């Protein structure tokens, strides 16, 4: 009886340990998948940025890509697929913002927004802290502000068109991975800006 009891206890502990390890691995895989999806979404948005400014809810003109607040990025992107040929643009307005530990993606289907316009909001990640964004200008200099003063002057010279940065760097900390840092290239931002200007 004693031997059977010892074997039973050992078997139970082994089973419990196996289940705990499986659950931990499953949770880790799920968190990693969510992180990968969030980075892929951000990469698609940034890489498909186009130099199309907008008007916000108050009628004020805003650059195609800018940082409206500290560590918030907002941009206009193309690639909103239209498989059934609806009467709409293929451009959308996107914002990434950290709110209460959640990294969220806002999307407006109308670029020039009316008062009361409501975006679609998606929670990409939880347990996020220290979300930071930087932009690289045409000289390879990083800045936490965009557009910079020089870019605004150039925009005035180019009939109000604000140049796009060459790249965007995003960094944040997320449990259990610690610091995450990614750099997303904007495909030939200078060329896109010149094309958009020539088309006006």
Q: Indicate if the alpha-carbon torsion angle 187, 54, 116, 68 is positive or negative.
A: positive
What pLDDT, on the 0 to 100 scale, is given for residue 194? 47
**Cβ atoms of 51 and 67 closer than 8 Å:** no
Q: How many residues does the chain have?
A: 200
Question: Residue ranges of the chain with pLDDT lower than 70?
Answer: 4-6, 8, 10-28, 81-88, 149-161, 188-200
Q: How many whole angstroms separate alpha carbon 32 and alpha carbon 34?
A: 5
Question: DSSP letter at 49?
Answer: B
Q: 0.85 cut: is pTM over it?
A: no
Q: How many whole angstroms separate alpha carbon 2 and alpha carbon 37?
A: 53
What pLDDT, on the 0 to 100 scale, is given for residue 22? 59
Locate 133 and state its tokens. 């964004």
Q: How is the chain split into domains, by residue range?
A: 29-198
What pLDDT, on the 0 to 100 scale, is given for residue 138? 86
Q: Which residues contact 130 (CB under 8 A, 6 or more apart)?
A: 171, 172, 173
What pLDDT, on the 0 to 100 scale, is given for residue 39? 94
Q: Where are the beta strands (DSSP E) in the chain?
A: 54-55, 61-62, 65-66, 73-77, 92-99, 102-108, 120-125, 128-136, 142-143, 167-174, 178-185
Q: How many whole angstroms separate alpha carbon 184 and alpha carbon 133?
A: 11
CATH of 29-198, one of 1.10.3720.10, 3.10.610.10, 3.40.50.700, 3.40.50.300: 3.10.610.10
How far lies 82's CA from each of 46, 79, 85, 119, 170, in Å?
A: 20, 9, 5, 19, 29
Locate 72 and state its tokens. 């918030």
């Amino acid at each position: 009886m004693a031997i059977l009891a010892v074997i039973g206890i050992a078997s139970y502990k082994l089973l419990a340990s196996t289940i705990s390890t499986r659950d931990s691995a499953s949770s880790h895989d799920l968190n990693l998948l969510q992180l990968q999806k969030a980075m892929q979404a951000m990469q698609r948005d940034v890489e498909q940025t186009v130099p199309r400014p907008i008007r916000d809810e108050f009628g004020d003109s805003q650059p195609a890509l800018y940082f409206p607040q500290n560590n918030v990025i907002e941009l206009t992107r193309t690639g909103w697929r239209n498989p059934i040929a609806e009467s709409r643009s293929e451009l959308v307005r996107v914002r990434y913002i950290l709110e209460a530990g959640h990294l969220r993606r806002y999307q407006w289907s109308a670029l020039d927004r009316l008062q009361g316009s409501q975006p679609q909001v998606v929670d990409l990640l939880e347990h996020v802290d220290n979300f930071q964004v930087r932009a690289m200008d045409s000289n390879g200099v990083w800045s936490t502000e965009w557009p910079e003063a020089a870019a605004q002057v150039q925009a005035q010279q180019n009939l109000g068109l604000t140049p796009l940065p060459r790249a965007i760097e995003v960094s944040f900390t997320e449990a259990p991975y610690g610091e995450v840092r990614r750099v997303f290239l904007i495909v030939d931002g200078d060329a896109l800006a010149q094309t958009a200007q020539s088309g006006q």
